[in-house]
Chain A
């Protein structure tokens, strides 16, 4: 309890701590950094790259999407703003910036729709190619507007009317830095709100494990597209500022070098920290502007940078800010963990509660025989090329039932499960859930409808904490597959946090709440895996080998847990542990070589000679070889 209230206090105190620290740093920087060679112009430039980097960090650092085409948006925003201002179409600097930013966002939506069809390597290549396409578009077909290789000179610098004073900004002077720094700070505060929102939590989940985020009921593509657009908007805004800073919009804003510089600055400074790109830009521009004037080393600045970058990526992938943060967290963890080290009892799955049904067997059979069918498949088949993994399975489960699926390895149980959850599209046949067709609707829809699965092999959000892990499905349950709540504070959403606490208590993970999943014991990871499925509050819970690899005590705990979970729920369990199956299940379906071999009560199955043969391997002598 004391731990919880202390956490709450620190959150209150620290709500704006980081923003405050950044603001103070920006304010002090002009008094310190000139001592080592920075001038006002370089520092204003750093602010622009920092803003550009905020969007990119949301995209890459938080969502895991590595784009090599951000220059496209930087350029669009820059050239649109500059064009409007140079030609006097929009007299107001801020209006021009806004229009440039919006058009960059629209362009981002167009490219995002195409590029986000693929992931990983392909995504990087496609964004890079679109970036190049934009460069060539600017360079020749649109040169009547953009000036082609000459760029657009004569961008007016803004005059600020603050009521009490009128400030004419000037390149190379500190008031220009101040202007850029204020805009960066605003961008930073917004980005941090996004990161701390429920929306931001889902972004992290996508980065950590995209398919699990989808299985938890989130419309992953919509989140990706949205954050792609946000990143484009940040880029467009930063590009507009570049034209204003230089009084000139250079065509090289569109080049691959620009995109590459952004990527490198972000990784050097530390991706996933928001402040990292700013730190990276400081280092980059410092080396370029300051090192360049030192004879003998001047020409080497980019070589040094490249080598440093390769070393950082190889050894310190978190970047400068990321490694510092991690170092701090480790120290903190060491400090808080030392009393915990004396803990003797390993955390167990839930404490035995009085509301546990005394004799689960008593309710068995009678309650469900006339209940409505909740899940049904008709002629369900899945072929992988010539391999018939599942063949024409007709299967139905009544509401409230506990059903076990058994069968030797390779019988098609897991494939069958994957079709139920929408991860595999069936070759033939239909699936009905509560009477509605759900065939091939995809994992997000199935999960939102009320059926979720715990995986045979743990599919956790690996570097997130237990609390963050469980927040993901709870959010999907509370706010549906997609919602644009980018400015909502997740830590103040009581209903979500209470639900997460509740599941952590139930799964015996409360003491591990703020630890990353990587430090959990195997049994705890397994419980978290089930917890992720359970947190969606599904009507039908599919469990793929929940007991696999557990120690005897963990197994006993988990069986007891399942006995509790069955109340008010339908369970379908794939399991090899026959004792557990016979203890839990009301009906058993036996799979053999992709087909349904037998179905019935545990007693029927125990006595079925076909089933015994299948397990002993005596079914087809020649197929054994």
Chain B
């Protein structure tokens, strides 16, 4: 039987994983909510962020620069993708958008594989992050603890952007009713571009700060993509609080289940998702009647 300190440790691990998932899923969910596009390339953008961060870190040994470059690169990539491709798909059925972004993710992953080969890379932990920290109930790598704080702060910033700015107002209005936003004469085109860029940036940014913890491979985005789908289903389409709660729930499920039997941790995640679908198909914070 697991003891209390192990339980607390796993609870904490779950929170660390959960906040990161929340950040990635926030990007996915605001794109989905505002543009109505399910971005299958979201995991690939996460991976691109990690690779840019890794490259910059190798060259400059500056973590701050790595994060800034990773996030900005993916932001620009997101804007290019939106202007070049996604834009052509707003009037098309959601299935077409899924197909295109799915194909796009393959193009991105294979391009990265071509440049960096498929061998997994390790990004160095920044100096201030190396070492461990005693939390009382457990000893925790310092970097992971700091990452958690960074992610929470970022989520707070995102909250302020979404709930305290004009852009955030338009985004949230778009999630409520896309047509009305268009009718009000707001510049939907520009909003879409900015939202897609921001959503992509969230993924890229998460990719960079996650890179020192995991191994960087061209396929690293796939698990992230599927897990963030689960988060969005649990939390509810287009919902920012839903993405956060869903992220934490998903993180805790994976973490706590692996305490009992690691073999079931992923299975359990999808099982809970099925449960949500049966009991509350619109997700915890989703609205009734949206598809």
Cross-chain contact B107 with A128 (CB below 8 angstroms): no
Q: Complex: how many Å from CA A124 to CA B232?
A: 13
Question: Which chain B positions have C-beta within 8 A of A317?
Answer: 96
Cross-chain contact A306 with B106 (CB below 8 angstroms): yes
Question: Which chain A positions have C-beta within 8 A of B94?
Answer: 120-121, 124
**Which residues of A pack against B, CB within 8 Å?**
60, 64, 66, 114-115, 117-122, 124-126, 128-130, 132-133, 136-137, 140-141, 143, 256, 260, 263-264, 267, 299-300, 302-303, 305-307, 309-310, 313-314, 317
Cross-chain contact A128 with B114 (CB below 8 angstroms): no
Closest to B265 in A: A136
Cross-chain contact B99 with A133 (CB below 8 angstroms): no
Query: Is B68 on the interface with A (CB-CB < 8 A)?
Result: no
Cross-chain contact B103 with A264 (CB below 8 angstroms): yes
Q: B221-272: which residues lie under 8 A (CB-CB) from chain A?
A: 222, 226, 229-230, 232-233, 237, 262-264, 266-267, 269-271
Cross-chain contact A129 with B291 (CB below 8 angstroms): no
Cross-chain contact A314 with B98 (CB below 8 angstroms): no
Cross-chain contact A310 with B98 (CB below 8 angstroms): no
Binds A, one of B167-175, B198-206, B274-282: B274-282
Most buried by B among A125, A140, A303, A307: A125
Question: Which chain A positions have C-beta within 8 A of B266?
Answer: 132-133, 136
Cross-chain contact A132 with B277 (CB below 8 angstroms): no
Question: Which chain A positions have C-beta within 8 A of B270?
Answer: 129-130, 132-133, 136
Q: B97-120: which residues lie under 8 A (CB-CB) from chain A?
A: 98-100, 102-104, 106-107, 110-111, 113-114
Question: Which chain A positions have C-beta within 8 A of B17?
Answer: none
Of the candidates A128, A143, A306, which one forms a contact with B103 in the assembled complex, judged by CB atoms under 8 Å apart? A306
B225 to chain A, nearest CB (A): 9
Known: A125-B229, A129-B270, A133-B266. A309 touches B103 (CB 8 A): yes
Q: Complex: how many Å from CA A507 to CA B266?
A: 57
Cross-chain contact B291 with A260 (CB below 8 angstroms): no
A337 to chain B, nearest CB (A): 28
Q: Complex: how many Å from CA A133 to CA B291?
A: 23
B217 to chain A, nearest CB (A): 14
Question: Which chain B positions have C-beta within 8 A of A310?
Answer: 85, 100, 103-104, 107
Question: Which chain A positions have C-beta within 8 A of B96?
Answer: 313, 317
Cross-chain contact B102 with A260 (CB below 8 angstroms): yes
Cross-chain contact A120 with B95 (CB below 8 angstroms): yes
Cross-chain contact A126 with B107 (CB below 8 angstroms): no
Cross-chain contact B291 with A121 (CB below 8 angstroms): yes
Cross-chain contact B229 with A128 (CB below 8 angstroms): yes
Closest to B111 in A: A303
Most buried by B among A60, A64, A263: A263
Closest to B36 in A: A121
Cross-chain contact A141 with B264 (CB below 8 angstroms): yes
Closest to A310 in B: B103
Question: Which chain B positions have C-beta within 8 A of A137?
Answer: 267
Cross-chain contact A119 with B291 (CB below 8 angstroms): yes
Question: Which chain A positions have C-beta within 8 A of B107?
Answer: 303, 306-307, 310
Cross-chain contact A140 with B263 (CB below 8 angstroms): yes
Q: Complex: how many Å from CA A197 to CA B263?
A: 45
